[in-house]
Chain A
Amino acid sequence: MEYQPTIVSFLCNWCSYTGADLAGTSRTKYAPNIRIVRVMCSGRVDPTFVMKAFREGADGVLICGCHPGDCHYHEGNYKCLRRYHLIRKYIEQMGISPERLRLEWISASEGKQFAELADEMTADLLKLGPVNIKNVLEEV
């Protein structure tokens, strides 16, 4: 069967999850490769979650939070941003291309942007090909 990437996406409850809902209510079609996990704040995204997703076979992980300055909890998205850079370095060391992890800001009104993001990331991952997590794990 043709390779189809799987993306696990962590969306904050206030902005990005609502934005994804808006894509739905506006019937904006996007790639079905994305699977959403709701968290209260992008600051809740533990590096373990990202690792777990790759471990279980995700080809990409997308974290979405409120735009800088718009965080419902003031600064959770900044915490997430700092953590994100570290996780990227970490997965690279493990042999997973850092491009497979993305952090984007999606507000509650950006349904269309969310759909575009899903399409874009799916297309990027199609180019990158599957992670082959088993090989990665063996190497480690």
Chain B
Amino acid sequence: MEEPRIGVYVCWCGTNISKTVDVEQVTAAVSKLPHVIIARNYKYMCSDPGQDLILKDIREHQLNRVVVSACSPRIHELTFRKVLVNAGLNPYLFEMANIREQVSWVHDDRDIATGKATSLVKAAIQRVAHHEPLEKRRVDIHPATLIIGGGITGLTAAMEIADSGNQVHLIEKSGRLGGMVSLLHQTHPHLTAGNELIQPLIDKAQPHPKVRVWLNSQIEEVTGYVGNFRARIRSGEEVEELDCGNIIVATGTKPFDPSQIPEYGYGMLPGVITSLEFEEMLRKGKIVTKDGESPCDIAIIHCVGSRNMEYHPYCSRVCCTTALKFANQIRAALPDAGIYQLYADMRSFGKGCEEFYMRTSRRGVIFMMFDQKGKLPVVKPNNTGGRGRLLISTRELLSGEEIEIPADLVILMVASEAREDARETAHLTGISLCGNQFFIEKHPKLDPVATTTDGVFIAGSCQGPKDIADSVSQARAAAARVLASILCGSVEVEVTTAVVNDKVCCGCQTCISVCPYHAIHFDEEKRVSEVNEILCKGCGTCGSACPTGAIHARHFTDDQILSQIEGLLSPITLKAMEMAMED
């Protein structure tokens, strides 16, 4: 291996780092370390002039390794790797020291922060000396796409991809397409019928030559990697395997079961129904109580299971406006009915929704605020006579009064929650779950439909509660991402895989037993293990299990990590720093 010539760059990140870390001191302290040819600091390393600085140094000083000490590698590792490529270096001859998220943003003492930052940079320098060039590989993208979920999100994405001439496999767990939208009588805020939105999509998708709809079907296993997935699908007794290049997960949500909240008496009191049951009532065309009578007073309780630490901490986003929609529909059907909205906070965000709230508030709808953090409203049968079969008692926050609301029908605006099989789906497709069991996107702002697994995208409310407009936007966004990769034809795959040194391997096969991807097989002839680098995802578990050290986990090799640990712990004495400063 050639002699390492390392360039070290310490970023100020404006004042983000320089406020807490003495960047000059860090630069000086590491500049005298072995193999360090040049050490600099700059205001913003990620800026164009910052990148040019590295580029110029590589060329001028014939650097063959680069360390940037700045933010998290999750943010800018790729940026700087590109600089190396532009300078004609292999991108893996690079290492980042995270002195912003791990130092300047979490520590206050300037001396301690500077010392810690110096250790981290030193560790990165020691590590990068052991880096080796890795060659990127490209694999072809299979043009077919697997879409899981036949609701409005899945259907929209399917049509977008199929219309461009690419095969789509649309997998639906239930026996019908349309999902949640087909259960809605009307949608907010324009009161368009749910059926009007979904039926044309279903009618188009079903006969489409490029769409194969799988009803009553479920994914059993997904193997492979971006561009070359293989999914095993079960429909009833039949099992079929199909190949696809990309996967869009659009499995949606399910309604919260309100019988968990004893205060509301759901399941015990006949007049208490969920928002979806009310939608069904609306679709049937008649608002009636259990006894078939027309209700005089209807109360709508918001945030049932949402924004409540005992159930779900998040906002389900669609219930407030749906409740407003209900008020309008009730008013149209029953002009004299009393309509009460019991809300925790009205959240009618979104285009046209605040206006919808204003219009609704003028239609004789009474809005009352309850304390979501305190005592929830209690629904009880009315035993005292007067209006209403049921009475809801609560403390109304805007008046501070303890009140009783008469109601013949109580509608619970139930939360949207992750489907019970979300975890299973996540495992099959390699997606992570957030604390609320929704799928996690790659980046909440900059990459909202991608996941940490290349080639697997998420769209719609399986990522978090969403209205139709947002779900459709995500469906089209995911479709665009898939189409872009199909158009490109091939994709770069991660090269940080494991490789077996067959001279050292003793053939114990421990690695085979720990590999979660069955990427290692045993070569009977040579009596050694061999890694299939396309199936390997680079977790490195085999590397740590190998008793002889025959497995080389690329970019996370024993040498690299051990020297990084050494660097982290090697004493950086004040004297050494002072000496460096004097020079």
Q: Do chains A and B touch in the complex (CB under 8 A)?
A: yes
A residues sitting closer than 8 Å to B (CB atoms) are 6, 8, 14-15, 17-18, 20-21, 23-25, 27-30, 32, 35-41, 43-49, 52-53, 56-58, 66, 69-70, 72-76, 79, 83, 107-109, 115
User: Which residue in A25, A35, A70, A73 is a CB contact (below 8 Å) of B541?
Assistant: A73
User: Which residue in B113, B434, B517, B540 is a CB contact (below 8 Å) of A43?
Assistant: B540
Q: Say whether B539 contacts A41, CB under 8 Å.
A: yes
Shortest B82–chain A CB gap in Å is 20
Contact A79/B545 with A8-B569, A49-B562 known, Cβ cut-off 8 Å: yes
Complex alpha-carbon distance, A47 and B562, angstroms: 11
Q: Say whether B541 contacts A6, CB under 8 Å.
A: no
User: Which residue in B105, B432, B537, B569 is a CB contact (below 8 Å) of A24?
Assistant: B105
Residue of B nearest to A6 (CB): B569
Q: Say whether B539 contacts A44, CB under 8 Å.
A: yes
Q: Say whether B119 contacts A35, CB under 8 Å.
A: yes
Q: Say whether A72 contacts B452, CB under 8 Å.
A: yes
Q: Say whether A24 contacts B123, CB under 8 Å.
A: no
Contact A27/B105 with A43-B541, A48-B562 known, Cβ cut-off 8 Å: yes
Shortest A101–chain B CB gap in Å is 14
Q: In the complex, which residues of chain B have a beta carbon less than 8 angstroms from the beta carbon of A27? A: 105-106
Shortest A139–chain B CB gap in Å is 21
Selecting from B95-103, B167-175, B188-196, B395-403, the interface stretch reads B95-103
Q: In the complex, which residues of chain A have a beta carbon less than 8 angstroms from the beta carbon of B74? A: 17-18, 21
Q: Give 22 CB contacts A-B under 8 Å.
A: A8-B569, A15-B432, A21-B72, A30-B106, A35-B123, A37-B561, A39-B540, A39-B561, A40-B496, A40-B539, A41-B540, A44-B544, A44-B553, A46-B544, A46-B561, A47-B544, A49-B544, A52-B562, A52-B565, A53-B565, A69-B427, A76-B539
Beyond A38-B73, A39-B540, A53-B569, 15 additional pairs, beta carbon < 8 A:
A20-B101, A23-B101, A23-B106, A30-B107, A32-B112, A36-B120, A44-B553, A46-B561, A49-B561, A56-B570, A57-B569, A72-B539, A74-B516, A108-B432, A109-B435
Q: In the complex, which residues of chain B have a beta carbon less than 8 angstroms from the beta carbon of A18? A: 74
Q: Say whether A28 contacts B106, CB under 8 Å.
A: yes
B residues sitting closer than 8 Å to A (CB atoms) are 72-74, 98, 100-103, 105-109, 112-113, 116, 119-120, 123, 423, 427, 430, 432-435, 440, 452, 496, 514, 516-517, 537-541, 543-545, 553, 556, 558, 561-562, 564-566, 568-571
Contact A37/B568 with A23-B106, A24-B100, A49-B562 known, Cβ cut-off 8 Å: yes
Shortest A86–chain B CB gap in Å is 12
Q: Say whether B565 contacts A56, CB under 8 Å.
A: yes
Shortest B256–chain A CB gap in Å is 21
Q: Say whether A20 contacts B102, CB under 8 Å.
A: yes
Shortest A15–chain B CB gap in Å is 7
What 9 A-B pairs have minimum CB-CB distances, sorted nearest first?
Answer: A24-B101, A44-B540, A43-B541, A46-B544, A73-B539, A56-B569, A41-B539, A74-B516, A24-B105
Shortest B559–chain A CB gap in Å is 11
Q: In the complex, which residues of chain A have a beta carbon less than 8 angstroms from the beta carbon of B106? A: 23-24, 27-30, 32, 115
User: Which residue in A23, A43, A115 is a CB contact (below 8 Å) of B539?
Assistant: A43
Complex alpha-carbon distance, A77 and B566, angstroms: 25
Q: Say whether B72 contacts A24, CB under 8 Å.
A: yes
Q: Which of A14, A18, A21 has the most CB of B within 10 A?
A: A21
Q: Say whether A14 contacts B433, CB under 8 Å.
A: no
Shortest A124–chain B CB gap in Å is 19
Complex alpha-carbon distance, A74 and B516, angstroms: 7
Q: In the complex, which residues of chain A have a beta carbon less than 8 angstroms from the beta carbon of B102? A: 20, 24, 36
Q: In the complex, which residues of chain B have a beta carbon less than 8 angstroms from the beta carbon of A56? A: 565-566, 568-570
Q: In the complex, which residues of chain B have a beta carbon less than 8 angstroms from the beta carbon of A41? A: 539-541
Complex alpha-carbon distance, A39 and B101, angstroms: 17
Q: In the complex, which residues of chain A have a beta carbon less than 8 angstroms from the beta carbon of B556? A: 39-40, 44
Complex alpha-carbon distance, A43 and B569, angstroms: 23
Residue of B nearest to A43 (CB): B541
Q: In the complex, which residues of chain A have a beta carbon less than 8 angstroms from the beta carbon of B516? A: 73-76
Shortest B425–chain A CB gap in Å is 13
Q: Say whether B116 contacts A32, CB under 8 Å.
A: yes
Q: Which of B102, B423, B440, B541 has the most CB of A within 10 A?
A: B541
Complex alpha-carbon distance, A66 and B430, angstroms: 13
Q: Which of B423, B565, B571 has the most CB of A within 10 A?
A: B565
Q: In the complex, which residues of chain B have a beta carbon less than 8 angstroms from the beta carbon of A25? A: 101, 105
Q: In the complex, which residues of chain B have a beta carbon less than 8 angstroms from the beta carbon of A20? A: 101-102
Complex alpha-carbon distance, A113 and B72, angstroms: 19
Complex alpha-carbon distance, A32 and B104, angstroms: 10
Q: Say whether B432 contacts A35, CB under 8 Å.
A: no
Residue of A nearest to B119 (CB): A35
Complex alpha-carbon distance, A18 and B570, angstroms: 26
Residue of A nearest to B104 (CB): A24
Q: In the complex, which residues of chain B have a beta carbon less than 8 angstroms from the beta carbon of A46? A: 543-544, 558, 561
Shortest B113–chain A CB gap in Å is 7
Q: Say whether B432 contacts A14, CB under 8 Å.
A: yes
Shortest B545–chain A CB gap in Å is 7
Shortest B280–chain A CB gap in Å is 35
Q: Say whether A108 contacts B440, CB under 8 Å.
A: yes
Complex alpha-carbon distance, A73 and B496, angstroms: 14
Complex alpha-carbon distance, A37 and B564, angstroms: 8
Q: Which of B102, B123, B496, B553 has the most CB of A within 10 A?
A: B102
Contact A36/B514 with A52-B566, A56-B569, A56-B570 known, Cβ cut-off 8 Å: no
Residue of B nearest to A41 (CB): B539
Contact A36/B98 with A46-B544, A83-B544 known, Cβ cut-off 8 Å: yes
Q: Say whether B541 contacts A58, CB under 8 Å.
A: no
Complex alpha-carbon distance, A40 and B544, angstroms: 12
